[in-house]
Amino acid sequence: MSVGLLLLIVIAVAALGYGLGRRRALASVQGDLRRLHSLPGYYGQSVFILTAAPALLVMLAWLLIQPLVIENHVISTIAPGSIADGSSTSLVLSDVRRMAGGLDALVARSSLSEGDIAALDANSTDVRGRLAEVGVALASDVDPAVFETAKAYRLILRTALLIMTTVVVAVTLAGLFFSLSRIRPDYRARNVSERAVIALLIASSFVAVMTTVGIVCSLVFETWHFFRLYSPEGFFFSTVWNPQFRGGSDLGIWPLVWGTLYVSFIALLVSVPIGLLAAIYLAEYASKTVRAVVKPAIEILAGIPTIVYGLFALITVGPFLRDYFAAPLGIGSSSSSVMTAGLVMGIMLIPFVSSLSDDIINAVPQSMRDGSFGLGATQSETVKQVILPAALPGIVGAILLAASRAIGETMIVVLGAGAAAKLSLNPFEAMTTITVKIVSQLTGDTEFGSPETLVAFALGLTLFVFTLALNVVALYVVRKYREQYE
Amino acid sequence: MTELPLPVKAAKVNARNVQVYYGQNHAIKDVNIDIPSESVTAFIGPSGCGKSTFLRCLNRMNDTIVGCRVEGRIEIDGEDIYDRRVDPVQLRAKVGMVFQKPNPFPKSIYDNVAYGPKIHGLTRTKAELDEVVEQSLHKAALWNEVKDRLAAPGTGLSGGQQQRLCIARAIATSPEVLLMDEPCSALDPIATAQVEELISELRNQYTVIIVTHSMQQAARVSQRTAMFHMGIVVEEGPTDKMFTNPDDRRTQDYITGRFG
């Protein structure tokens, strides 16, 4: 019986339990709803939850733990001699798994019976050929010992599945009868349902948290690998970025950090004033009709994929800047430049700044404006002296959010600023950022264990720390803002 | 209803045939009223009767509301405040306003009071500004409570203190008329008593117009009362007479609590 079918059975039993529970609750009061503690549906729900939830949890735990236990057992049975030179336990194990899968497929096509499989012997039969029939291609001829392991593995799996099915069905039925037996008119079924909702909500937020933790762990783990191969001093204190895939590379982070900060700085220089002024216009001056047209129009900018911005930078902005500014001034001859990427990224960030600032300015109570107008202030005096100071922390939060977007942006930089790691003050020179280098270090045919590849994780972690710090600052400022009035 | 306002000596504000429209809604109809200077005039009436709307006409705060239109003639010191030559911004310095809910700016107590004088350039030196701030806080009966913490945020004061801070803020621009839109509705009885006492004192220097839902408050602080109902002034006259012997049936009913 497959896992999917088992899942369906559990759900079906639980659904049946819903109907039974509902009916039982109604029967317990002879159909007089008023004497029930909760609505009949809640009794059904409580049965459904107590039937399905424990069974599904058992199943989940089983499926998580089973492979670990079984594979450990299988590994212990593989003779060290079966592991060929240049191979490893994990490769042999994956061969075992694929052979077991192939045997299952053969049985499914009914070209083999269970008895045939037990009799199969890698020495006398062309196992490789038979398995190739069902699409399982093996690299070399099958080692008889490994084949025996695969047969054993397959049997263990079948047994384990059988036990799991039995256990899960038992838990399901136990839950069903237990919860049905609890139904009485004064049973607080709606509270059970309420607790189940809370558990679901907590579990959902837990998933988000655990994902973050998992990402950080994997970054930290790989970064640690990197620093075993490459000295931290060379990474943090060198100003040369020059990866050589033959080895002996210089992997100093500073040119990348500089490029990242430079591009982000220019992007913020463009987006913050424009976005903020647009937000002030929209929130304070624009009529309803203008606002209804302009606000969505600005927000469309946020919906454009960044690769499209990148193309815009590559084809339009870059050559324009080169031909009309950099070349005549004699300060650059490349169409890829920090300025190009910064400008285009700034345009991309305008809606972030303006939309958030607009919301924040709108959140300033009307009574503040009334108070200021009532004292004879003009509109711009009111904006400058009352609205902006009151909204400032929120606006700072918006800017920091835009800044973390800028730091993490990749496509625009690849197409706009180039891929040359450089430390220079000239904004018309090509530079590159951390994100771009992460992509270029991880793409291509390099060995995964080399420092040139692993450096991507160290870069990623650095970037993560950067944006995390910015977000923490943003959150702190926003929280402070909430305490501002009232 | 057709009765004309009683002749009033030294009228500060004269309103003639004032109409206010919110889009299609005719909110104020044919209001004629004279408000004497250096006295407290109370506007009473059930909710939605237009008393706050009329109050906001007097410093042109309705200009900030989209779709609001004012017709007729409102004069302050004989000058039509809806004349083209009148700058509403200047007018509001002359006609101060205190709102229903205390709305101090999220700035320090000092900056709250100094706000008006600063934007109108009323003082030349810091010392003068300090003087104006202190005077205003004195007049608002708040000085003794806040003199040691002028740099603390105005939003940190209690409700009654905040409202007196707002009054101090309005006084600081040396207005001639002070409009108060239910200034005590968000305050507890103790704070209300303090603000009422303050209003009685302010009468000596300012023309105070107060909108209130409390009959007792109108009776306690005002010399004249105007009763609004459905956008018209039903009756207007000396407070004593209004509360003891009103001419209009609706005033009588409202004051005695039979409707509204």
The CA distance from A17 to A22, in Å, is: 8
Instruction: Give the B window 152-181 contacts with A, CB below 8 Å.
Output: 155, 166, 169-170, 173
Lowest mean pLDDT segment, chosen from A15-24, A324-333, B85-94, B147-156: A324-333
Q: B170 and A375 in contact by Cβ < 8 A?
A: yes
pLDDT exceeds cutoff 50 at A102: yes
Distance from CA of B119 to the nearest CA of A (A): 7
The CA distance from A1 to A273, in Å, is: 64
Query: Out of B89, B99, B169, whose CB is closest to A370?
Result: B99
Give residue A204's identity as a one-letter amino acid code. S
CA B33 to the chain's CA centroid: 15
Residue of B nearest to A392 (CA): B106
Lowest mean pLDDT segment, chosen from A67-76, A289-298, A336-345: A67-76
Average pLDDT taken over every residue of chain A: 86
Distance from CA of B56 to the nearest CA of A (A): 10
State how far the alpha carbon of B22 is from the alpha carbons of A27, A284, B46, B50, in Å. 61, 20, 19, 11
Query: Out of B103, B104, B173, whose CB is closest to A370?
Result: B103
Instruction: Give the pLDDT band of residue A301 (cuts 50, 70, 90).
Output: confident
Judge whether B237 is closer than 8 Å to chain A, CB to CB. Answer: no
Lowest mean pLDDT segment, chosen from A322-336, B213-227, B234-248: A322-336
DSSP output for A188-244: -HHHHHHHHHHHHHHHHHHHHHHHHHHHHHHHHHHHHHHHHHS-HHHHHH---EE--
State how far the alpha carbon of B161 is from the alpha carbons of A162, A256, A312, B141, B192, in Å. 76, 56, 58, 9, 10
Q: A373 and B101 in contact by Cβ < 8 A?
A: no
* Beta bridge partner(s), residue B208: B40, B178
Domains parsed from chain B with CATH numbers: 11-255 (3.40.50.300)
Distance from CA of A328 to the nearest CA of B (A): 47
Judge whether A382 is closer than 8 Å to chain B, CB to CB. Answer: no
Q: A378 and B89 in contact by Cβ < 8 A?
A: yes
Residue of A nearest to B180 (CA): A374
Q: Is A89:A83 a contact under the CB 8 Å cutoff?
A: yes
Query: Out of A367, A376, A385, whose CB is closest to B103?
Result: A367
Q: B120 and A376 in contact by Cβ < 8 A?
A: yes
Query: Out of B90, B155, B166, whose CB is closest to A376?
Result: B90
Name the residue with tokens 């036990």: A163
pLDDT exceeds cutoff 90 at B1: no
Judge whether B17 is closer than 8 Å to chain A, CB to CB. Answer: no
Tell me the angle at which helices A451-482 and A388-408 cross, rounded to the nearest 10 degrees. Answer: 170
Which residue blocks in B13-85 are alpha helix, DSSP H?
Answer: 51-57
Lowest mean pLDDT segment, chosen from A389-393, B66-70, B73-77: A389-393
Q: B92 and A378 in contact by Cβ < 8 A?
A: no
Q: A375 and B104 in contact by Cβ < 8 A?
A: no
Residue of B nearest to A384 (CA): B119
Instruction: Give the pLDDT band of residue B81 (cuts 50, 70, 90).
Output: very high
pLDDT for the residue numbered B8: 46
Residue of B nearest to A386 (CA): B105
Residue of A nearest to B178 (CA): A374
pLDDT exceeds cutoff 70 at A484: no
* pLDDT tens digits along A155-187: 888 889 899 999 999 999 999 999 999 888 888
A359 is written with which tokens?
């919301």
Query: Out of B92, B96, B105, whose CB is closest to A368?
Result: B105
pLDDT for the residue numbered A76: 80
pLDDT exceeds cutoff 90 at B255: no
Q: B38 φ, ψ to 5°?
A: 45, 55
pLDDT exceeds cutoff 50 at A483: no
Query: Out of B93, B99, B103, whose CB is closest to A376?
Result: B93
Q: A374 and B90 in contact by Cβ < 8 A?
A: no
Chain A residues within an 8 Å CB radius of B99? 367, 370-371, 374
Domain with CATH 1.10.3720.10 in chain A: 236-482
* pLDDT tens digits along B183-213: 988 888 888 888 899 899 888 889 999 999 8
State how far the alpha carbon of A304 is from the alpha carbons of A19, A307, A348, A398, in Å. 49, 8, 8, 20
The CA distance from A166 to A475, in Å, is: 50
Judge whether A380 is closer than 8 Å to chain B, CB to CB. Answer: no
pLDDT for the residue numbered A485: 55
Query: Out of B89, B93, B103, whose CB is closest to A371?
Result: B103
pLDDT for the residue numbered A262: 93
Tell me the angle at which helices B109-120 and B159-171 cross, rounded to the nearest 10 degrees. Answer: 20
Instruction: Give the B window 60-119 contacts with A, CB below 8 Å.
Output: 61, 64, 66, 89-94, 96-97, 99, 101, 103-107, 115-116, 119
Q: Which helix (H) or strand (E) holds B111?
A: helix B109-120
Name which CATH class applies to A236-482. Answer: mainly alpha
Lowest mean pLDDT segment, chosen from A282-286, A482-486, B140-144, B146-150: A482-486
Judge whether B56 is closer than 8 Å to chain A, CB to CB. Answer: no
Burial A92-125 (b: 16+ CB within 10 A, else e): bbebbbebbbbbbbbbeeeebeeeeeeebebeee
Chain B residues within an 8 Å CB radius of A389? 105-107
pLDDT for the residue numbered A482: 57
Chain B residues within an 8 Å CB radius of A394? none
